Amino acid sequence: MKKRSSAIGVLYRCLLYCMSIMLFAAIPIKGFGQSTGELTTDSLVKMGFENVRWTETPKERVYVVENSTYKIQALGIRKAVDIIQEMGLPKDKPCKLIVTNYNIPQVSLTYQPIAGDTTIVNGEDWKVSYNIDDSWNEVKKVKKKNSSLFKVDILVYPQLYFKNYIITQIYQVLLEFSPAVEVSLWPGMKLTGQLVLPVYNDGYGKAAGKVHPGYLTIAQKFRLPYNIQGTATVGAFDYDTYGADLNLFYPFKDERFSLEGRLGYVGFGYWDGFKLHYNDKYTTYWSVGGNFYWPRYNTQFKVRAEQYLLKEKGVRFEMIRHFRYVSIGFYAVKAEHANSNGGFKFFVALPPYKYKRHKYIPRVSTSLGTGITYNAGNEKYYYQMPYSNASENMMQQNSFNPYFIKSELLNF
């Protein structure tokens, strides 16, 4: 009887021991029960990344981030890759990072592990592409952390204009500081309202010397099948125009090559203070052409057939060299009814280069860049085509170029 009682006691104690282990395992301990994916997304949010998500399927792990902390997109993406690598990559499946802009996917970065390879991961091991496959369909259903919606940016756009049209004066100059309120109210959408504050006006007329509205636009980004990306914009643009603008971009399988098209329908008007003077005449402008990107030197070549605001049709060639904080370009144009023209343009990214948001408090900073276009032919009327958004320039247009991003990854 004693031996039987002893055996029952041992069995009872073992049962209690197993139950205590199960109970202890069920108690949540900070950091213990969290997966690598959760810890990684929390770290990305802490760094200031927005619209952060992750998911894991039997074939891959997918992260999503949107960079609004680092002014240079390629640098921000590099920082996100840093965090993902430090927190740990899956050893038996690919890891993909999808980068969005206003919650619309732009590019993907993919790490494919090699069996038996224990070397440290570096920038060379990540493939950057416009292609996002079906990964977005899986991860877009996941709830976002640190949503970008309804967060306000106040960006100051410094603008310098100069011209040399009179003999008695070398240059006539206009200097403006133009703060713009930018906010997204739904995925893909950006509302921009800008106020132009003249600082110095010599030779640009009374209207240019008054405080007046600048860009007033609603832009909607979208992504179509076959990696086609686009932006539709309505509102008041530059060159004293208002109307609608559509921009489409399509990369080929060899992503060094791409096609780009643009179509706009605008009327003309100008601000005299806060009073708008306009007429009922409208015109169409368009542009279509191809691009080639030379990754070794981060140099872009563009050829376009275009119709400008005065309906003159022509061709344009551009060559642009992109650096981290500067883009420098040369251009040549020829249109019917107009003399050949050309020149150079450059844009410089303005500090600060890192600026985190504090919840929903409006953030004040400078725009991505400011620049100058030099018109060698001193042309006043021809070759004009408006930008449809205050933030649009050749640096911004290259922000999500896979080869430019890759060049930053290789600088680890």
Which pLDDT tens digit goes with each residue over 79-114?
999 999 999 999 899 999 999 999 999 999 999 998
Write down the pTM of the prediction: 0.89
User: Does the pLDDT of residue 412 top 70, yes or no?
Assistant: no
Predicted confidence band at 115 (pLDDT cuts at 50, 70, 90)? low
Domain boundaries, the chain: 37-139, 152-389
Rounded CA separation 51/288 (Å): 33
Average pLDDT over residues 146-162: 95
Work out the widest C-alpha separation in the chain, in whole angstroms. Answer: 122
pLDDT of amino acid 31:
41
pLDDT value, residue 14:
55
* Rounded percentage of the chain residues whose pLDDT exceeds 70: 90
Average pLDDT of every residue of the chain: 90
More confident call, 318 vs 167: 318
Number of H helices, E strands in the chain: 7, 19
Banded model confidence at residue 369, pLDDT cuts 50, 70, 90: confident
The yes-or-no verdict on residue 7 having pLDDT over 80 is no
* Pairwise pLDDT comparison (194 vs 166), residue with the higher score: 194
Distance between CA atoms of residues 235 and 187, nearest Å:
19
- Tell me the CATH number for domain 37-139: 3.30.300
CATH architecture of the domain formed by 152-389: Beta Barrel (2.40)
> Which is nearest to 334 in space by CA: 303, 367, 362?
303
Confidence bin at 35 (pLDDT 50/70/90): confident
- Banded model confidence at residue 336, pLDDT cuts 50, 70, 90: very high
Q: What is the pLDDT of residue 346?
A: 92
Phi, psi of 79 (to 5 degrees): -65, -40
Average pLDDT over residues 264-269: 97
* pLDDT over 90 (residue 289): yes
pLDDT at 2 over 60: no
Burial state string for 60-70 with b = 16 or more CB within 10 A and e = fewer than 16: bbbbbbbbbbb
- On the question of pLDDT at 28 being above 60, the answer is no
- Read off φ and ψ for residue 57, nearest 5 degrees: -120, 170
pLDDT at site 25: 40
* DSSP string covering 342-385: EEEEEEEEPSPSB---BTTBPEEEE-SEEEEEEETT--SSSS--
What percent of the chain shows pLDDT beyond 90? 78
The per-residue pLDDT for 207 is: 93
- Rounded to an integer, the average pLDDT of 184-202 is 97
